[in-house]
Structure 1
Amino acid sequence: MAAPAAAAGGFPGGGLPVRAGGQGPRDGPAGGRAGSRGRVRGVERAGVGLEAALRARREVGGKAFVPYVTGGAPGVDAGLLRALEAVGADALEVGIPFSDPVMDGPVIQEASRRALAAGTTPSRVLALVAEAGLGIPVVAMTYLNPVLQRGLGPFLAEARGAGVSGVIVPDLPVDEAGEWIAACAEAEVAPVFLAAPGSPPERLRRVAAASRGFVYCVSTYGVTGARDELAGTAEEVVRALRPLTDLPLLVGVGITTPAQAAGACGFADGVVVGSALVRPLLEGDEEGAVHLAAAFRGAVPVGNPQPEDARGPEARAGPTGASKPARLSDT
């Protein structure tokens, strides 16, 4: 996975250029900084609902299932998001399409291309999240350019207002992310960082310390997409992080089948599943995507959840198991 390094300072005013193209027109005032460097009041609350939901699943002996879809791509509407919640997702990752998606493989790249061609902007994706009105946490996945074009504070305020609990920015190295972390703390949105195979111990310590909500453990080298088997590097990343943080550790990238998801749950706290679900959506098979999501939920242990009324709203962990998939017309 190639991630471009940020320039000194990392954000507007620090010399980082905004590359041209593809992420849609500007949706609001650009520029400006939110928050200051260092620790900001509210940092411990950032993404509290996201972390609480994932911890709740872990505390009852279960594992988290987090499906990913690309906002604005074919078939991705509020009904689909609700259907993914209905089959038992613990949280949902929604991608904001971008023209230079360095982390994504061919399937998600194509989803982003179609979404951009349809005029999708970051604000439209966030409006979709708000329209869905989900009872589970939502994590937005974006790249640095759309954030910089909007401005850190305005972007995070809009995301928070839409119901987003966390944000992943895969092309922002944790070493360059001081202002981003501070802005997320101020907005009470969890900054979720990626831990990649082969990362030196010091980098993993920084990722563990900076992340809120959960740590995204990249299972293998390379970009997102289908894999024939679960890479051994996935377990290596999780085991290296365990002594460094008590945050939930979720494995993503290359989780292609329910059996692979079950295998990853043997050592991780849950899985993020993307390309496997996006592929049927690109083929126009929304029902198939929902049924596949239900199969993943069935393979990922739910544990022994408490009755819904015994938990607070921030600790909601989703349905107690994989139910019959909701028809999209019912959502």
Structure 2
Amino acid sequence: MTSRLAGRFAELKAANRSALVTYICAGDPGYDASLSLLKQLPAAGADVIELGMPFSDPMADGPTIQAAAVRALNAGQTQLKTLEMVRQFRRDDQTTPLVLMGYYNPIYRYGPEAFMRDAREAGVDGLLIVDLPAEHDSELGPLAREAGLDMIRMATPTTDAKRLPAVLDRASGFLYYVSLNGVTGVGQADNATVRDAIGAIQQQTELPVCVGFGVRTPEQAARFALDAQGVVVGSALVEQIANANSPEQGVKDVLSLVSALSAAVKQARN
């Protein structure tokens, strides 16, 4: 059986276009607004959704997503509620791939075996665990594969040719290429450098490569969409929530930006 992620990337490849991968933090700014936003992302143009699992020490994230995690946790978001959001989403949408992104600690506290069982039952398609590199695959990898969940790996500008095979080993779903060193939402990547990196990665894997970190505008998304199989936008969306004068306005502002990003990505290769 083809996974939702594999199916979606196959569809997009046939259409000769890149995926728009959108990140939001579960429970930001509150459960109801966050669930409303999640349900509306596909219609606005999101091809794949990354749903952040809020954690109190998100060391790979910049100030924007750190603040989102704080807002979500202060509003009472838990791992149980995050999985319930996925269940609610799946009642209306059985086709859009959804990846949980975050850190190992909340999964460890939940209990890895129970978490994998519940995540699969809820309708999660994959996991991107920032602080579990390939060398620690044994922590979650076997459980994820047994549950039929993709384990998505990350490569960075410092991932050299010697380490790349280890990163790709038993990776599935897609490869998340971090376009610049540092934390999310800070800086801007150089297109030529990213293009070269994607080319080197594609010589070693058939996995789709999605580029994230430092992608903020439709223009930037369109440029990366020329070479990558997916473009990930997170901090720029989360900022819309932070800057809005109400949760409802934040949802509208995120959806508006997603629509603009989607249009740019769709037109990139035309």
Per the normalisation by structure 1, the TM-score is 0.74
Would you say the 8 A contact 2:180–2:189 is kept in 1? no
Please report how far the alpha carbon of residue 179 of structure 1 lies from its aligned counterpart in structure 2 after TM superposition. Answer: 4.0
Please report how far the alpha carbon of residue 237 of structure 1 lies from its aligned counterpart in structure 2 after TM superposition. Answer: 2.8
Please report how far the alpha carbon of residue 288 of structure 1 lies from its aligned counterpart in structure 2 after TM superposition. Answer: 1.1
Counterpart among 19, 22, 26 of residue 71 in structure 1: 26
Counterpart among 165, 177, 190 of residue 137 in structure 2: 177
**Equivalent residue for 1:209?**
169
5+ long unaligned stretches in structure 1: 1-44, 305-331
Would you say the 8 A contact 2:116–2:144 is kept in 1? yes
Bigger relative contact order, structure 1 or 2 (CA pairs below 8 A, ≥6 apart): 1
One-letter amino acid of the structure 2 residue matched with residue 62 of structure 1: R
Is 1:297 aligned to 2:262, yes or no?
yes
Identity rate, percent: 37
**Equivalent residue for 1:150?**
110
5+ long unaligned stretches in structure 2: 245-249
One-letter amino acid of the structure 2 residue matched with residue 167 of structure 1: L
**Equivalent residue for 1:110?**
67
Secondary structure class of the residue paired with 2:66: helix
Secondary structure class of the residue paired with 1:235: helix
Q: Which has the higher helix share?
A: 2
Distance 2:165 2:122 in 1: 31
Counterpart among 65, 72, 83 of residue 126 in structure 1: 83
**Equivalent residue for 2:247?**
none
Counterpart among 88, 91, 96 of residue 53 in structure 2: 96
Per the normalisation by structure 2, the TM-score is 0.90
One-letter amino acid of the structure 2 residue matched with residue 225 of structure 1: G
**Equivalent residue for 1:250?**
210
Give CA deviations for 1:203-229 in whole Å, capped at 9, x if unaligned: 211222221110001000001004355
Distance 1:280 1:130 in 2: 25
Please report how far the alpha carbon of residue 198 of structure 1 lies from its aligned counterpart in structure 2 after TM superposition. Answer: 1.5
Would you say the 8 A contact 2:20–2:232 is kept in 1? yes
Give CA deviations for 1:63-101 in whole Å, capped at 9, x if unaligned: 101110000111642221121110221110000001111
Please report how far the alpha carbon of residue 54 of structure 1 lies from its aligned counterpart in structure 2 after TM superposition. Answer: 1.6
Please report how far the alpha carbon of residue 162 of structure 1 lies from its aligned counterpart in structure 2 after TM superposition. Answer: 1.2
Secondary structure class of the residue paired with 1:177: helix
Distance 1:194 1:298 in 2: 26
Give the superposed CA RMSD.
1.9
Secondary structure class of the residue paired with 2:55: coil
Q: How many residues align?
A: 259
> CA, structure 1 residues 228+204, in 2 after alignment: closer, same or farther (shift >3 Å)?
closer
Q: What are the equivalent positions in structure 2 for 1:9-88 lying under 5 Å apart?
A: 48-74=3-29, 76-88=33-45
Secondary structure class of the residue paired with 1:186: helix
Q: What are the equivalent positions in structure 2 for 1:222-233 lying under 5 Å apart?
A: 222-228=182-188, 230=190, 232-233=192-193
